[in-house]
Amino acid sequence: MRVTFLGTGTSVGVPVLTCDCPVCGSSDERNRRLRAGLLLDWTNGDGESSRVLVDTTTDLRQQALRVGLDRVDGVLYTHHHADHVLGLDELRIFNFVHRVSIPLYGRSETMDAIRHTFAYAFDANARGVPRIDIHVTDGPFDVRGVRVIPVPVQHHRLTISAYRIGNFAYITDCNAIPESSAAMLRGVEILVIDALRRTPHPAHFSLAQALSEIERLEAGTAYLTHLSHEFEHGELEKELPEGVHVAYDGLVLEADEATV
Ligand SMILES: [Zn+2]
Ligand SMILES: [Zn+2]
Ligand SMILES: [Zn+2]
């Protein structure tokens, strides 16, 4: 399974509108961070390929253009905050081209919020709206032959989904991982984890907290995401311990969806 980082930025993105700090003004592409999301793609034994998004970010259209996305076979939602869902309308074009509804997977609160925010998409008489099918998930499920394990984590008062797929795990927007969930993630080979900024935040891990979670989860290699403009890519990369890296938009990783 190939993992492509479509976005690695916090909710306002980087550069931040109106900001004239050195990171927002940087010419290093790795300091340009769209809203946080992933593209997962894999090909099964019969040569059938699948493309699945993690979240439909505010920047989805731009992200899809960058990677030449030509199909969407499903979306795994982490939670319903604006930066993770507002690109949902962009799914329409894939409906028009492929003439199938796109399955969305997520927790019941996430799906309720999507129904509310995108009410027009659930009007059976409406035309030209996204065609989507809601799948409420409260345990492991399969997407086109691949086992997906939602892992409940805390995002301030909200419980949201991290995801584990084979030897890969994605934890965005998180400030605490209960022990029962840590047990589902422990020993994962490739871990992506939220590290918003240096100082503590009620809804996100700080850099120090993310690093201690990476140790606690005994991850093989880890990548930091949902980054604010406090972090200059090259400087942060230099100060990280071995095996921990700064993710950036366009980064591609190879994971194994079948090995746990
Ligand atoms: Zn977010
Ligand atoms: Zn800035
Ligand atoms: Zn959030």
Q: CA 61, 140, 56 angle in degrees (round to 5)?
A: 10
| 218 alpha carbon – ligand 1 mean position (Å) | 24
pLDDT tens digit string along 187-197? Answer: 999 999 999 99
Least confidently predicted of 91-100, 161-170, 198-207, 245-254 = 91-100
CATH class belonging to 2-254: alpha beta
Q: Reply yes or no on whether the pLDDT at 161 is more than 90.
A: yes
Taking residues 29-36, report their average pLDDT: 98
Q: How far is the CA of 202 from the centre of ligand 2 (A)?
A: 21
| DSSP string for residues in 1-56 | -EEEEEE-B-TT-BSPTT--STTTT---GGG-BPBSEEEEEEE-TTS-EEEEEE--
pLDDT for res 176: 98
**pLDDT of 45 strictly over 90:** no
Strands 49-54 and 74-76: parallel
Q: Residue 175 has what pLDDT?
A: 98
Phi, psi of 139 (to 5 degrees): -170, -175
pTM above 0.75, yes or no: yes
CA-wise closest residue to 138 among 110, 119, 175, 174: 110
Query: What distance in angstroms lies between residue 25's CA and the mean position of ligand 3's atoms?
Result: 25
Gap between the Cα atoms of 169 and 137, Å rounded: 17
Q: What percent of the chain clears pLDDT 90, i.e. is strictly above it?
A: 95
Spacing, Cα 24 to ligand 2 middle (Å)? 4
Digit-coded pLDDT (tens) for 72-87 = 999 999 999 999 999 9
**For the CA of 22, the nearest ligand:** 2
Closest CA to 256 of 211, 206, 221: 221
Q: Which residues are near ligand 3, the ion (C-beta closer than 5 Å)?
A: 81, 173
Q: What is the pLDDT of residue 259?
A: 78
What average pLDDT does range 67-76 have in this prediction? Answer: 97
Would you place residue 13 in the very low, low, confident or very high pLDDT band (cuts 50, 70, 90)? Answer: very high
pLDDT of residue 44: 86
Sequence-separated (6 or more) residues with CB below 8 Å from residue 150: 107, 137, 138, 139, 140, 141, 161, 162, 163
Mean pLDDT of 221-243: 98
Residue 23 has pLDDT above 70, yes or no: yes
Provide, rounded to the nearest whole percent, the portion of the chain with pLDDT above 70.
100
Of the candidates 98, 49, 48, 56, which has an alpha carbon nearest to the alpha carbon of residue 75? Answer: 56
Query: What does the DSSP 8-state code read for residue 101?
Result: P
pLDDT confidence of residue 260: 67
Q: What is the mean pLDDT of residues 183-209?
A: 98
Q: Cα(66) to centroid of ligand 2, in Å?
A: 23
What is the chain's mean pLDDT, rounded?
A: 97
3-state secondary structure 108-173: HHHHHHHHHHCHHHHCCCCCCCCCEEEEECCCCEEECCEEEEEEEEEECCEEEEEEEECCEEEECC
* Rg, C-alpha atoms of the chain: 17
In contact, 30 and 57? CB cutoff 8 Å: no
